Amino acid sequence: MRIAICDDEAIMQKQITDEIEKWLKTNQVEVDILCYPSADAFVLAWQDLSFDLAFLDIQLDKKPSKSMSGIQLAEYIRKTDKNMLIVFITSFKQYVLSGYDVNALHYLIKPLSQAKFLPVMDKAYAIWKSRHNATLVVFDGKGKMKLPFDDIYSISMVSHTAIIETENTTYELRKSADEMLEMLPSHFIRCHRSFIVNLLKVDCVYKESLLMSNKKTLPISRNNSKAVNDAFVKLHTLR
């Protein structure tokens, strides 16, 4: 789980980090905590990293004047990332309603209290865990069963049928590629008009193909090449 803290006060960055580390004492979770002093610094890092949870100070120091506030940063995030969990940190309760416009998970009022912080971490972790443990309902020839997303290597499209490949077997769903992508988490990406791939199961990305961890190769179309490469790097950097 990768967590970003965006606050222009070093003392606040440390306090949030300390609270997360207190939470970790009773939760066996592998966490990366990265701190940024401004929205610009966060955005620059976000080009290469993916974040599961972000603590954003609403009153970020807007120097230079063109820099974004915490609310503006959240709006910027939501243009491309609907799933990142956002928690606002603020000294003023009147800013709280702004969080609803960007689907914020919660808001915390300064000074932070452990009693209020830990439940927020519990909630964020529960959502993150549920996403990572999510399943797809498929038919195995006898009946319907739950198939964990993490078991899926790739999906090939034949007419209007999605053929889902796992380690040992395949399943079929009467879905289009677009419908499948809507059902799947963000680490699934279309690498070719006929294939959707689970980037967590990819070992290497080449110019015109990619190598899966089960040693199979899948094609990458020219139109999808950059998107696949960028997504692969963003997903695996520092994970």
pLDDT the model gives residue 117: 93
Each residue's pLDDT expressed in tens, for the chain with a length of 239 residues: 999 999 999 999 999 999 999 999 988 888 999 999 999 999 999 988 889 999 999 887 655 556 788 889 999 998 888 889 999 998 876 655 555 567 888 888 888 888 889 999 998 888 888 777 678 888 777 778 888 888 899 999 998 899 999 988 999 999 999 999 988 888 899 999 999 999 989 999 998 999 999 999 999 999 999 999 998 887 766 44
pLDDT the model gives residue 236: 66
Whether pTM exceeds 0.85: no
Domains of the chain plus CATH, in order, are 2-132 (3.40.50.2300), 135-236 (2.40.50.1020)
pLDDT the model gives residue 202: 92
CA distances in angstroms from 148 to 37, 42, 177, 184, listed in the order given: 38, 32, 18, 11
| Secondary structure letter of residue 142 according to DSSP | S
CA distances in angstroms from 98 to 3, 22, 69, 101, 207, listed in the order given: 22, 29, 12, 6, 44
pLDDT the model gives residue 73: 93
CA distance 236 to 221: 21
Exposure string for 67-93, b = 16+ CB within 10 A, e = fewer: bbbbbbbbebbbeeeeebbbbbbbeee
pLDDT the model gives residue 238: 46
CA distance 221 to 75: 32
